[in-house]
Structures are given as C-alpha cells and as structure tokens.
Amino acid sequence: MNVNEFNSIFPVGDKNEAYAQYFVGQSYLNMLSVKGVVIGNVTFEPGCRNNWHIHHKGGQILLCTSGCGYYQAWGEEPQELHPGDVVHIPPEVKHWHGAAPDSWFAHLAVEVPADGASNEWLEAVSNEDYNNLK
C-alpha cells in the first residue's frame, strides 16, 4: 500500500520533512488548525514512530482515526491504538506514539493550549523496545 491508497478521513498531507529528524520511518503531516488550538493530522507508514518527547505546560490529546498504532508513556506498558481511541497526555509526561509494525496509522494531534507551552524532543524509541511490542 502507498500513501495514496491509505484510507484517511482527513487529507494525509505532505511528507513530514519539518520534523523528520524526530521520527523513525516516514510520516506525513497535514496541519488542520494553527490558530487557537493547534491540530495536526499525522499519518505514519508501517513501523514509523516518533521519538520520545515531552509537552511542557500544555499536554496533548491524540484522536485516533485510522489503522493500528501504539502510545507509550515512560515507565508504562505500550497501549495499542485503534480508530476511535482517545489518549490524554498530561503535561510533563515523556511518551511516544506511532504505527504498528504491520499497519498504517493516523491520528489527530491536538496541542492543549497553555502559556509558555513547548515541546522537547528526546531520544528515538529503540528498535529493541519497538520490536518487543505485543
């Protein structure tokens, strides 16, 4: 399957070149809103995931729309994600999210507005940890 065949309710957008250094694999980004509440439609090719990262002050909400993926908070077990799942990520929680090894995955990433909110990108999720997903 290629990106044009992926069934997404929102346009997939272009290759996510702006944040490519923070992803393992290919992702796509379509910014749906950049005023008030920032919302991006993020699409992951199979096996693609973002690095560990922390949202300072505002947190993030993931609204899963297509495919199968994972979310993991530091020190916790990974959660498998499916369309309709909602993940509330509080501020200051180190975490990652991305596609399952054998599935495309898309979610809306909603940045929770807060004064002084920022995002800190950290290390990549190790292949060993990723390959041990159930």
Q: What domains are there in the chain, each with its CATH number?
A: 31-41+54-115+124-134 (2.60.120.10)
Own/partner long-range contacts of 31-35 (Cβ < 8 Å, ≥24 apart): 32/108
Over residues 60-65, the mean pLDDT reads 98
Q: What is the mean pLDDT of residues 100-118?
A: 96
Pairing of strands 105-111, 38-44: antiparallel
Question: Does the structure show a pLDDT above 70 at 1?
Answer: no
pLDDT at 125 over 90: yes
The pLDDT, as a whole number, for residue 86 is 98
Cβ burial of 96 (10 Å; 0-12, 13-18, 19+) is buried
Helix (H/G/I), strand (E/B), else coil: 129? helix
Q: What does the block give as tokens for 17?
A: 């070149």
